[in-house]
Amino acid sequence: MEEKVVEIRGLEKSFGDLDVLKGVDLDLFKGENLVVLGKSGSGKSVLIKIMVGLLKQDEGTMNVLGKEVSTLKTKELNDLRLRIGFSFQNSALYDSMTVRENMEFPLVRNVKNLTKKEITMKIESLLDSVGLPQAINQMPSELSGGQKKRIGVARTLILEPEIMLYDEPTAGLDPITCGEINKLIVQVREEYNTSSITITHDLTCAKDTGDRMAVLLDGQFDAVGTFDEVFPKADDPRIKSFYDYNFINS
Amino acid sequence: MTEKAADRKPLLSKKIDKFFTGLADAWNFVLRFFKVAFVPPYEFKEVVHQCYRIGVESLPLISLTGFIVGIVFTNQSRPSLSEFGATSWLPSLISIAVVRAMGPLVTALIAAGKVGSSIGAEIGSMKVTEQIDAMEVSATNPFNFLVVTRVIATTLMIPLLVMYTDFVALMGSFLSVSANEKVSMLTFFVQVFESISFLDIISSVLKSILFGFTIGIVGCYKGYNSTKGTEGVGRAANAAVVMAMFLIFIEELLVLQIVNAIRAF
C-alpha cells in the first residue's frame, strides 16, 4: 500500500460568516504530485496554509508526515516546517535582501555549523538547478516574475523538504514562463524526491505537473482522479466550464 | 463544534469591544517582545544594521532640527530676559530647556515621524506580501528578526540621538548668544553644565529610552498587524506615527510628574 504523507479528514474552516472549507477529505501519497484546482476564493490556499500551521482549522484533522498539525507546539511545528517547502503565490522574496541573503536566511538559522564555503556551494548549486546562477547578487526588484518564482522555489529547496507546496506557481506569468515553471516543478520532484501539492486554476499547469487532480468546489472536493478521469468527460457543469475555458473548447 | 467568531455577540458595544480587544492585543505584543528578546537565537547582525539605519541615517535631519531649535529658542528668549537685564542667564535657561524637555521631545517626535513610519511601512508591506509568512514557514522566528531587532535598535539609538541633539542645539544657542553677546565657548558651556543637575541628565536618558522603546514597538505593532493590502500599509505607517507621538506626549507628562516629585523630595 502506498505511504500517505498527508491525510486530511473532515476539515472545516470559516472566516466570519463565510464557510470556506466544509468537511474536506484528501490524501497525498509519497512521491506524487497532487494538483488542487478551484475557483479564486474557493479555499485552495487556505488548505495548504493549514498544512504548515499558518492557519488553524475549525474542525477536522490535518495529519502531515504522521503529525497532527493543530496540536503541535512551536518547536514541534518548526521541526515539521523544516520538512515542508512552501512556494508562495507572489514568491514572497525578502525584498531588502539579495538573492544570496534570501537563500541564506532559512539555512543559517536552521542548519548549524556550516562554513561560509559550504553555504555558498549549496546556494550556487540550487541556483544552477533552477537555471539562475547569475542572479546570486541581485535584489528581488531586479528580477522578472518568473525569475522570482524560481528563486522562491530554490529558497524552499535549500532546507531539503520532503513535501513541496506550490501556491499558484504560474499565476501572472506569460505562457512560455508558465511552461518553464511547470518543467521546474516536475524537475524538483525527480531531483529531490519530493511529494507535492500544487494549487492552481491553470489546467495546463495541472496537466503538465500533476499525477492526480482534486477539484475544490463549494468547500468540498468534488472530483479526485487523473486529469483524464476528471476533466475531458466531466458531467458537472462547473468542472466542464473550467475545462472549456482553459482549453478554449467551447 | 467550535463557536464561530461571527456567532459571538459582543460583550458591550462593538466599538468598546474592539477598543479593549485592541488594547489586549497591544499588551500581548509588548509581553511577547520581552519573552522573545532575552531568549536565543540573537540577531546581532540585524540589530547593528537597524542601529545604523535608525541612528546614522537620522543624523542629518536631527542635526538640522536641533541646530535650528537652539538658535530659535535663544532668539525668542532673549527679548524677555533683556527686559530684566538678565541676558547673561540665557545659557542656563537654554541648557535646562534643552536637556530637560526640548532635546528628548524634539528628537523623539522627529524619530517617530521618520523611523516609526518607516518601520510601520516596511513591516506592513512584508506582512501583506507574505514575506512574514515565508519566514514563519521556513521555521524561523519573524518576530525575533523583525520586531525584537528594531525595538532594541530604537531603544538604544534614540538616547544617543537625544544626547547628540542636546549638543547640537546648545551649539546653535552658543552661535546665537555669541553673535549678540561677548561670550567665549568655555564660559557658555561652563554656565550650561552648572545649571543642569545629575537628575536632569538621568531623567533625560531614561525618558529617551522610554521614547525609543515606544517608537519601535508601536511601529512594529502597527506594521505586524496591518491588513487590506497597500492601503493597509499606508494606514500602518500613519497610525505608527500618530500613536507614537501621542504616547510620547503622555510619557513626557508622566515622567515630568515623577521627576518633579523626586526633586521636591
Percentage with pLDDT > 70 across chain A: 98
Q: At what angle do helices B103-111 and B229-264 cross, to 10 degrees?
A: 170
Q: Based on the number of CB atoms within 10 Å of its own CB, is B151 exposed (0-12), middle (13-18) or buried (19 or more)?
A: buried
Q: At what angle do helices B103-111 and B149-180 cross, to 10 degrees?
A: 130
* Average pLDDT value over all residues in chain B: 92
Q: Given this model, what pLDDT does residue B1 score?
A: 44
Cα separations (Å) of A223 from A212, B81, B232? 10, 87, 38
Residue in B137, B146, B149 to test binding to A, most A beta-carbons within 10 Å: B137
- CB-CB contact of B73 with B91 (8 Å): no
CA of A58, closest CA in chain B: separation in Å? 7
- Per-residue b or e along B204-220, where b marks 16 or more CB atoms closer than 10 Å to that residue's CB: beebbbbbbbbbbbbbb
| Strand, helix or coil for residue B184 | coil
pLDDT at residue B10 above 70?
A: no
pLDDT at residue A250 above 50?
A: no
Q: What is the pLDDT of residues A31-63, one digit of tens each?
A: 999 999 988 888 999 999 999 999 999 999 999
Q: What is the pLDDT of residues A146-185, one digit of tens each?
A: 999 999 999 999 999 999 999 999 988 888 889 999 999 9
CA distance A195 to A165: 9
pLDDT at residue B125 above 60?
A: yes
Q: How many CB atoms lie within 10 A of CB A140?
A: 21
Please give the average per-residue pLDDT across B43-59, as a whole number.
95
Q: Given this model, what pLDDT does residue B174 score?
A: 96
Put simply, the answer to whether A16 touches B129 (Cβ < 8 Å) is no
CA distance B217 to B222: 8
Q: Which residue of chain B has the CA closest to A14?
A: B4
* Average pLDDT value over all residues in chain A: 91
Helix count and strand count (H, E) for chain B: 12, 0
A110 touches chain B (CB under 8 A): yes
Q: Measuring CA to CA, which residue among A112, A109, A107 is closest to residue A124?
A: A107
pTM: 0.89
Percentage with pLDDT > 90 across chain B: 82
CA distance A3 to A22: 26
Phi, psi of B151 (to 5 degrees): -70, -40
Of residues B17 and B215, more confidence is placed in B215
Nearest by CB to residue A54, choosing from B1, B41, B136, is B136
Q: Given this model, what pLDDT does residue A149 score?
A: 93
Work out the angle at residue B85's Cα, subtended by the Cα atoms of residues B84 and B90, and round it to the nearest 5 degrees.
Answer: 100
User: B206 Cβ partners below 8 Å, 6+ apart?
Assistant: B255
Q: What is the pLDDT of residues B85-114, one digit of tens each?
A: 888 899 999 999 999 999 999 999 999 999
- CB-CB contact of B113 with B221 (8 Å): no
Provide the ipTM.
Answer: 0.91
Q: What is the pLDDT of residues B206-249, one digit of tens each?
A: 999 999 999 999 999 999 999 878 888 999 999 999 999 999 99
Q: Given this model, what pLDDT does residue B7 score?
A: 56
Residue in A93, A109, A113 to test binding to B, most B beta-carbons within 10 Å: A109
Q: Which residue of chain B has the CA closest to A50?
A: B137
- Bridge partner residues of A33 (DSSP): A196
Of residues B123 and B2, more confidence is placed in B123
DSSP assigned state of B120: H
Amino acid symbol at B173:
S
Q: Which residue of chain B has the CA closest to A86?
A: B137
Q: Measuring CA to CA, which residue among A70, A51, A42, A59 is closest to residue B3?
A: A59
> DSSP assignment of B207-237, as one string?
HHHHHHHHHHHHHHHHHHT--SHHHHHHHHH
Q: Which residue of chain A has the CA closest to B144?
A: A109
Please give the average per-residue pLDDT across B174-185, as a whole number.
92
Q: What is the pLDDT of residues B157-167, one digit of tens each?
A: 999 999 999 99
- CB-CB contact of B114 with B216 (8 Å): no
Q: Which three cell numbers, joined as nine digits, stand for B29?
A: 505584543
Q: List CB contacts (< 8 A) between A93 and chain B.
A: 131, 134
C-alpha of A144 from chain center: 20
Of residues A43 and A232, more confidence is placed in A43
Please give the average per-residue pLDDT across B196-209, as a whole number.
94
Q: What is the pLDDT of residues A203-215, one digit of tens each?
A: 889 999 999 999 9
A20 touches chain B (CB under 8 A): no
pLDDT at residue A236 above 60?
A: yes
pLDDT at residue B84 above 70?
A: yes
